[in-house]
Structure 1
């Protein structure tokens, strides 16, 4: 690959696919947000999934706490810093910009939506939809794998599969931790995952547009 396909943070072969995915993900967030607006109780799906992870041993809770730490300010900052340094060492300035901007937009969107939707857990002061922790780690995985897809020249099918599997694993593991720790309902986790899928491709496209316009 040459040109934008190599230097761009959103590989050209993935733009159409991830544009569609972003629209679908944003639509899912909207549907879930309307469904659970102002709610303070688990839905049917939340109850069933929550029951499946209930009663986990102390060792599993320790793992969940370690995953949760990655979404806290200290852990998240460390992950982002390592990724930015790696991008700079690889001479990928656009990627170094996308890492903090992409995850920042995802987390910012969840913070805004929490106030708009007003769903709560464990009391009126604990806004829960969507999950910021899940959005963060999913967005981080999306950013890193999009950069790797472009760097190694993956094709449309391989690149799409690589990025989506990474996003699913990252979101699934963090989501499991949040549900196990009773920090979020499963549908909050789904909302956070979809937020990342909606905003990261758009942010990557914007970073490429701005960088190309300055050439």
Structure 2
């Protein structure tokens, strides 16, 4: 599930992303107000009109329980129809562990928004980014992309998904911008590690040939 050509790039990226999650978590631990960067970005996004608000709500729905379940079921069904069991496992475990990680981190960091709602890191942003990463990894492996093209596909997919959901969360007032960055980095840290573990587990179960 983790194309060999991408291992050299995704490992350091995942480690850097994990570091960013920790640094931001420590920086905003226990706070209930936006930071300087948060305030600047929020002022630029503030005042989203009805047409764009509907777009934001539509994007937000993709990471709501019903929307997320629909995406995962569709992806798993496609993997099973293509007889790619390992890919189906990665879709479920990769997105599940990413969201689970954000759920565990929120009470540890203790950052809040809107009357005490835990906000860091953004689970919505983490989910959609993780889903995009998994799909991009599957596509890169399926197409046999090299290091440069494969890495470009994976990172671009993560950027687009994270930016779209991050914008939606800030526009709807659900998260601070740095919450969405933390969610994005959480996905970048968890998904490659999960893909590696899925590969190792599947390979360990294969009988050795002599």
Please give the TM-score of this superposition, normalised by the length of structure 1. 0.95
Q: How many residues align?
A: 206
**Residue 91 (structure 2) aligns with:** 99
Per-residue CA deviations over 1:7-56 (Å, capped at 9, x if unaligned) read xx100111121010010000000000000000000000000000111111
Q: CA deviation at 1:86?
A: 0.6
Distance 1:177 1:186 in 2: 10
**Residue 123 (structure 1) aligns with:** 115
Name the SS for the 2:47 alignment partner: coil
Name the SS for the 1:42 alignment partner: coil
Distance 1:27 1:19 in 2: 13
> Equivalences for 1:129-168 in 2 at 5 Å?
129-168=120-159
**Residue 75 (structure 2) aligns with:** 83
Tell me, yes or no, if structure 1 residue 14 matches structure 2 residue 6: yes
Distance 1:89 1:12 in 2: 25
**Residue 183 (structure 1) aligns with:** 174
Tell me, yes or no, if structure 1 residue 40 matches structure 2 residue 29: no
Distance 1:143 1:64 in 2: 23
Ranges of 4+ aligned residues in structure 1 off by more than 3 Å: none
What is the aligned-residue RMSD (CA, Å)? 0.5
Q: CA deviation at 1:123?
A: 1.2
Gaps of 5+ in 2: none
**Residue 171 (structure 1) aligns with:** 162
**Residue 195 (structure 1) aligns with:** 186
Please give the TM-score of this superposition, normalised by the length of structure 2. 0.97
